Structure 1
Amino acid sequence: MEIIPIVVYGFECNQDTGHVIALNLSRSCIYGAITSNSSLFCLHHLQNLTLAGNDFNHSQIPHEIGNLSSLIHLDLSYSNFSGQIPSEIQYLSNDLYTKSLTSLVQNLTNLEELLLNINISSTVPKSLANLSSLKILSLIRCGLYGQFPTRIFQLPHLQVLVVPGNEDLTGHLPEFHTNSPLQYLSLASTNFSGDLPASIGNLNSLTTIYINYFNFSGTIPNSFSNLTQLTSLGLSQNSFSDLSWVTRASSNDILPQFEYLGLAHLNLTKFPDILRNQSKLETLYLDSNSFQGLIPKWMYNVSKESLLDLSLYDNVFLTGFENSPAVIPWPNLESLDLENNMMHGSLPIPPPSLMYYFVLNNSFTGRISPFFCNMSSPIVLDLSYNHLSGMIHPCFGNSNQTSLSVLALRCNNLGGTIPKTWAKGCLLRMFDLSQNQLQGHLPRSLANCTELEYLHVGHNQINDTYPSWLGTLQQLKILVFHSNGFHGAIWSPETNYSFPSLHIIDLSHNHLSGNLLAGYFAQWDAMESVGSKNLYYLGDLVDYSITMAIKGVELEYKKIHDDLKVIDFSCNRFEGEIPKQVGNLEGLHVLNLSNNAFTGHIPSSFANLTQLESLDLSQNKLFGEIPPELTQLNFLSKFNVSHNSLIGPIPNAQQFGTFENTSFEDNRGLCGRPLSKICGDSDISTPPPSTSFEENRGPNFFFEFGWKVVVMGYGCGFVFGVVIGHIVTTRKPYLVIKIFGKKQCQTRIKVNRRK
């Protein structure tokens, strides 16, 4: 399939011959493979080709690339190619790379630029250090391993050296000479170690150095002060034993004026004095240090006009701002992260410029100020896990706030009703109001938020009929209503059910009633899908998280794979037969219909749910036999049909041999293992189904969980990464969230998100 568009992003022709010599298709939304007969390979005079920033869907770089015999510059970075690099590349006149780095560099002695962002699982050949003309070396996330040749740092013309994201690549920094032209050095997220040489101060042209997430130790050399051209410095998460260059008073030094400064994970105990004379900072990361008490007042003047991004995430003993400013003191700030601290008092009022505001997991109190309505283009507002009270201001839904993509207010003391007006054009994608004291109805105007993917209002006091109109939201993936007062049937003649993208629906612990109609599940296309070619976590700006009762255990999913499919209708008043069409949702991992008043047989179509790992039909009025076809469910590890009126032998094959007695108890007509009743006994009569719905629900209406655990995502075969033991008991209680009982929201939980 020809993928090169007629209208290209940019091209250049030779003025004399008219031949195309440069073609730039970067970020052109190209998708798919480049076929061997593409007209691209007819451009024999092409010298410069850029395909960066497209999606070639894990296809291979075509061998025909060798036809471009005049090519001297080839950029395939961030283009989602996979497989081996074709050997034909080594025949290009001055160009690039092959599946064997060693065989390539031996032939490309005049190479000036080498840029790669593809997993080649290779060592870095020592012969790279012989490429004396090399100016740019960029090998990002290439799966490199082994020792990085030190001599490459000393190439006479090397200006850019970028090898981040190669976690198995080891090495150390050499001694640097004064005539080095190196300007940009990034070794972030590799396994380099050792000391930083004092001679690093000889790199007079250096503007950027990223050595974040390393194993460097020893001292930060004072010679950093000599790097007067340095504008970006990343030192985060190393093991330095001496941080005096950062922490000392620096009034007598002429220090570089940074635009980016990363000082996270360095165990700093006070705000570093190096910041006092910084006036041009745009990005400052001070995450995961050991700051205590208040942010000092002198910090308010640090790069006051230029600062755009400030992160103080996870300084757990940081309690607030000195003099408690009513307004955040940086007027042009765009992103503020105060997450996972112990800050208290009222919420700092954001400047109008702020777009990303993270203060979750603190102890802020009081109301959300109406000054939050002055934010001109908010995108993420996460105030979860605090002690905020009052009402949610209606401005969050009006036309001035349509840019808002994430509004997370989970686990506070907010009351009143949900804002009723949500404007057309609303861009909201995540809306989390769970674990508050909200009342009233779910506003129908939320249907204007057509991008909505995540809606969570669990554990509130909402009293409303089932909002079937949400089915019109084509992007909705996660819908959680548990523990509210939703009532009535879940069918409405006004809608055609829809929910094509739904992955998780939790309606448990409400007062919903009536029959489940077959058509309700007809368009749940995402749940019919089995597996996923490219697994990813749901959520973009933040990682979606959720608490669910699965396999008899209450789990907090801090990340949710797109392959996870869950239905929980437990603890309601549904009745009638379970529709056999539920068996069409072949991607389901969890199905919980317990504590209802379902009658009839267990559908044999459930045998189609080949991914199912947890099936709970307990506390209903089901009768008949357990379908023997269910033995085909090879992943089933939780099965509960107790407290029904089932009869006949329990299937004795595959997974059914692992289920305990409690999975089948209180079905007087069942026999066979693991029950003590042997099939063929005379007393297998079945009592008539209970006529009282409340009686059927039994004394154990709510789940009896003796312990709660935290799970991060899930992996192959829906394996639960259960974190128990010392985390659950004494050592890290903040990782455990207890959601039954409002006061238990005060328990702190570390929440993952994307930054």
Structure 2
Amino acid sequence: MGRYCSRVFTLVTLLLVLDNSGVEQEREALLQLRRSLVDPSGLLSSWEGRECCRWEGVNCDRVYGHVINLQLLPQPTKDETSTYSHMGSKLLLACGELNSSLLRLRYLNHLDLSGIDSNHGRIPEFIGSMEELRYLNLSFANFYGMVPQQLGNLTELEVLDLHNEYENLVVDDIPWVSHLQSLKYLDMSGARIVNKRVLMQVISMLPALSHLSLSGCRLHNFHMSSNHLANFTSLVHLQYLDLSSNHFEGPIPSTLFQNMTSLQHLDLSYNSFNLSIPMWFDKFTSLAHLNLEENDIGIMYQVHTLYLNDNLLGGILPSSLCDMELFNLNLANNSLSGSIPDCWKGSLSFLTLSFNKLSGVIPRSLGSLPHLTTLHLNGNHLNGELPQALDYCTDLVILDLGENDLSGRYKRIGLSAIG
């Protein structure tokens, strides 16, 4: 019995030694990575000493102490994202290709290199060997050239973010994406996709996908034809879809969207869609954000945020707008005419109808919007006196009524209504 216990103790001791050796290798791998980066802001100044799990941007398994999460730069706020590439170039700069010491982080499942400046380096093929990865973010990192097909080996991957600017990245052979069967989040915005012919078919083979961003990928109507969307309606779990800044034109195709009934966010801005918004949009009962800026289309259904500014919308404002559960409504810079409907109610806080051809009086029902903070009616042909009911809009901060033919005063702040 004593001999058995001794052997067990020896085995446990050996395992602990080997495990500690592995942790020490991970620490050395991180130090090699640091030595390959220029860090003028001292973001990685904490990367010294024996306890690498306490280093900035490094998270470890609580039981065995292995590195499982590496994020070199802090995540930007939403407002900073558009300038992340510029911010990153000032913080961390890669000297040559990314150091392959990352391969020694055998337990790493979360790798975030977003915002670093790779100095036009290529995405290294060895990342495709890090098969424990579930999260990979290479966005705005100034990578250049072909996206390696080896990323298709990351079959456990749930998040892949390759968002970049200026078409620095090229996706030459898209079918490797179909191997990522666990993928829930895919962002390839700004990438130049060479083999677009099979793009939609490949994406339709991702059963768990809930977030898809393909903004600025030079997609056009060819990719929305029925031949290329045969199985695209299988994306029933898709909640977020961004197809902005592409080359789509004509009517919005029902083939692409009508079965995506889980959509919460749809961005089709900066394309050339025209005609009216299809009535089958009312099937999107979960849709909370719809962006159709800079298209040529005209008016719609139920969402919380509706931006249709800078289009070619004509006709009158439908009273059905009053029945929508809107928080933000922007219809500025169109050709809308007639009077403003007098039926407003609900939680609307932002209303912009400026620079249209609207006429008549300002409706009294606007005073039934207790949460209204911003009201732009400037640049129309409105006349008459300001309704006293506006005094009930106690949260109103911005009121712009210029370039109209109005009279009266907004008593709460004594603002003259002149145009």
Coarse TM-score class (shorter-chain normalised): 0.7 to 0.9
* Change beyond 3 A, Cα 1:405–1:425: closer
User: How does 1:267-286 map onto structure 2 within 5 Å?
Assistant: 267-270=218-221, 271-272=223-224, 273=228, 275-286=232-243
2:134 maps to which of 183, 186, 190: 183
User: How does 1:680-695 map onto structure 2 within 5 Å?
Assistant: none
1:332 CA displacement:
2.1
Hey, what does 2:352 align to over in structure 1? 408
Hey, what does 1:653 align to over in structure 2? none
- Residue 162, structure 1, aligned to residue 162, structure 2: no
CA contact (8 A) 2:182 2:206 kept: no
User: Which residue type is aligned with residue 318 of structure 1?
Assistant: F
- Residue 431, structure 1, aligned to residue 382, structure 2: no
CA contact (8 A) 2:367 2:391 kept: no
Separation of aligned partners in 2, 1:226 and 1:405: 45
1:314 CA displacement:
0.6
2:47 maps to which of 105, 109, 119: 105
Hey, what does 2:268 align to over in structure 1? 312
Q: What is the root-mean-square deviation in Å for CA atoms of aligned residues?
A: 3.0
Hey, what does 2:314 align to over in structure 1? 365
The DSSP-based 3-state class of the residue aligned with 1:372 is: helix
The DSSP-based 3-state class of the residue aligned with 1:452 is: coil
- Residue 174, structure 1, aligned to residue 121, structure 2: no
Hey, what does 2:155 align to over in structure 1? 204
**Structure 1 unpaired stretches of 5+:** 1-96, 117-131, 472-478, 485-755
CA contact (8 A) 1:418 1:443 kept: yes
CA contact (8 A) 2:93 2:117 kept: no
The DSSP-based 3-state class of the residue aligned with 2:241 is: strand
Separation of aligned partners in 2, 1:165 and 1:430: 35
Separation of aligned partners in 1, 2:267 and 2:416: 31
* Change beyond 3 A, Cα 1:161–1:416: same
1:133 maps to which of 66, 70, 79: 66
* Change beyond 3 A, Cα 1:152–1:294: farther
User: Which residue type is aligned with residue 233 of structure 1?
Assistant: L
- Residue 386, structure 1, aligned to residue 386, structure 2: no
Deviations 1:11-64 (A, max 9, x none): xxxxxxxxxxxxxxxxxxxxxxxxxxxxxxxxxxxxxxxxxxxxxxxxxxxxxx
Separation of aligned partners in 2, 1:201 and 1:254: 13
1:162 CA displacement:
2.2
User: How does 1:450-465 map onto structure 2 within 5 Å?
Assistant: 450-462=394-406, 464-465=407-408
User: Which residue type is aligned with residue 469 of structure 1?
Assistant: R
Relative contact order higher in (CA < 8 Å, ≥ 6 apart): 2
1:299 CA displacement:
2.5
- Residue 299, structure 1, aligned to residue 270, structure 2: no
User: Which residue type is aligned with residue 392 of structure 1?
Assistant: I
1:451 CA displacement:
2.7
Hey, what does 2:384 align to over in structure 1? 440
Hey, what does 2:194 align to over in structure 1? 241
2:413 maps to which of 470, 489, 501: 470
The DSSP-based 3-state class of the residue aligned with 1:439 is: strand
**Structure 2 unpaired stretches of 5+:** 1-38, 59-64, 77-87
User: How does 1:322-333 map onto structure 2 within 5 Å?
Assistant: 324-325=278-279, 328-333=282-287
Separation of aligned partners in 1, 2:149 and 2:54: 29
CA contact (8 A) 2:332 2:354 kept: yes
CA contact (8 A) 1:364 1:386 kept: yes
- Residue 228, structure 1, aligned to residue 170, structure 2: no
Separation of aligned partners in 2, 1:115 and 1:373: 48
1:293 CA displacement:
1.0
The DSSP-based 3-state class of the residue aligned with 1:224 is: helix
CA contact (8 A) 2:250 2:273 kept: yes
The DSSP-based 3-state class of the residue aligned with 1:157 is: coil
Q: Number of residues paired by the alignment?
A: 349
* Change beyond 3 A, Cα 1:312–1:188: same
Deviations 1:485-526 (A, max 9, x none): xxxxxxxxxxxxxxxxxxxxxxxxxxxxxxxxxxxxxxxxxx
Hey, what does 1:262 align to over in structure 2? 213
1:296 CA displacement:
1.4
Separation of aligned partners in 2, 1:133 and 1:367: 64
Separation of aligned partners in 1, 2:411 and 2:327: 28
Hey, what does 2:98 align to over in structure 1? 149
1:115 maps to which of 57, 64, 75: 57
Separation of aligned partners in 2, 1:103 and 1:308: 41
User: Which residue type is aligned with residue 164 of structure 1?
Assistant: S
Separation of aligned partners in 1, 2:263 and 2:179: 24
* Change beyond 3 A, Cα 1:198–1:468: same
Write 1 or 2 for the structure with the bigger share of helix: 2
1:445 CA displacement:
2.7
Separation of aligned partners in 2, 1:467 and 1:425: 16
- Residue 355, structure 1, aligned to residue 304, structure 2: yes
Separation of aligned partners in 2, 1:424 and 1:321: 30
The DSSP-based 3-state class of the residue aligned with 1:470 is: coil
The DSSP-based 3-state class of the residue aligned with 2:46 is: helix
User: Which residue type is aligned with residue 365 of structure 1?
Assistant: G
Q: Taking structure 1 as the reference length, what is the TM-score of the superposition?
A: 0.43
1:411 CA displacement:
1.5
CA contact (8 A) 1:342 1:363 kept: yes
* Change beyond 3 A, Cα 1:417–1:220: farther
Separation of aligned partners in 1, 2:154 and 2:330: 42
Q: Which has the larger radius of gyration?
A: 1
Separation of aligned partners in 2, 1:453 and 1:168: 45
CA contact (8 A) 1:297 1:321 kept: no
Separation of aligned partners in 2, 1:469 and 1:181: 62
CA contact (8 A) 2:215 2:243 kept: yes
* Change beyond 3 A, Cα 1:265–1:201: same
Hey, what does 2:323 align to over in structure 1? 374
- Residue 334, structure 1, aligned to residue 288, structure 2: yes
Separation of aligned partners in 1, 2:91 and 2:41: 12
1:199 CA displacement:
0.9
